[in-house]
């Protein structure tokens, strides 16, 4: 059974720097494929950096490794990933005429895939 979280994808400075190496470069891929969590949430769920989780939204499902955010970066109950394939799998396709789907405050369920 999973736990409810709020996912807030966005662009990051590291993502911008990594794009100069290309979307298949290590720097860019590391930024867009790793889910960031509050350290307290990781501790409570007994997760370590690199453990895998599955996220499910009303629009889709995606799996990713997790990493602890800096202590003051994310509040408990909120997740972050840079825009990319992972975040796109969890967003709907309705752009409300803006050209960009709603991508903030996505309700997701997180399931731990790593056995402990």
Taking CA atoms, 110 is separated from 16, 21, 27, in Å, by 27, 31, 25
Tokens of 101: 């789907």
Taking only the tens place, the pLDDT of each residue in 26-37 is: 677 777 788 999
Longest C-alpha distance within the chain, in Å?
45
Taking only the tens place, the pLDDT of each residue in 42-59 is: 999 999 999 999 999 988
Q: Please state whether the predicted TM-score (pTM) of the whole model is above 0.85.
A: no
The whole-number average pLDDT for the span 76-104 is 73
Domains of the chain: 3-112 (2.40.40.20)
Taking a C-beta distance cutoff of 8 angstroms, is the pair 5, 64 a contact? no
**Bridge partners, 112 (sequence order):** 53
């Amino acid at each position: 059974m999973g736990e409810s979280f709020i996912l807030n994808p966005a662009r990051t400075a590291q993502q911008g720097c990594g794009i100069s190496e290309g979307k298949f470069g290590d720097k860019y891929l590391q930024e867009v494929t790793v889910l960031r969590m509050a350290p307290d949430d990781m501790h409570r769920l007994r997760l370590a950096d690199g453990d895998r989780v599955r996220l499910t939204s009303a629009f889709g499902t995606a799996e990713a490794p997790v990493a602890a955010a800096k202590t003051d970066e994310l509040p408990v109950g909120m997740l972050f990933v840079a825009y990319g394939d992972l975040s796109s799998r969890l967003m709907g396709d309705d752009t409300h005429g803006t050209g960009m789907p709603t991508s903030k405050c996505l309700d997701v369920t997180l399931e731990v895939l790593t056995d402990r």
